[in-house]
Amino acid sequence: MEEATISGSCQCKSIKVEATTDVACWSHCYCSMCRKTSGCPSMIFAGVPINSVKTVGTTLKSYDSSSVVTRSFCSNCGCGIFFNDHREPDTIWILASILDTFPEIGKTQKFQVYVDDKISFFDEMCKAKSLKSTEMEQFPVNPAKKGQ
Residue 140 has pLDDT above 80, yes or no: no
Phi, psi dihedral angles at 106 (to 5 degrees): 35, -120
For the stretch 111-129, pLDDT in tens is 999 999 999 999 998 898 8
User: Which pLDDT value is given to residue 42?
Assistant: 94
Confidence of residue 68 (pLDDT cuts 50, 70, 90): very high
Q: What is the pTM of this model?
A: 0.84
Q: What is the DSSP string of 79-141?
A: -EEEEEETTSTTEEEEEGGGBSS----TTSEEEEE-GGGS-TTHHHHTTSPP--GGGGGGS-S
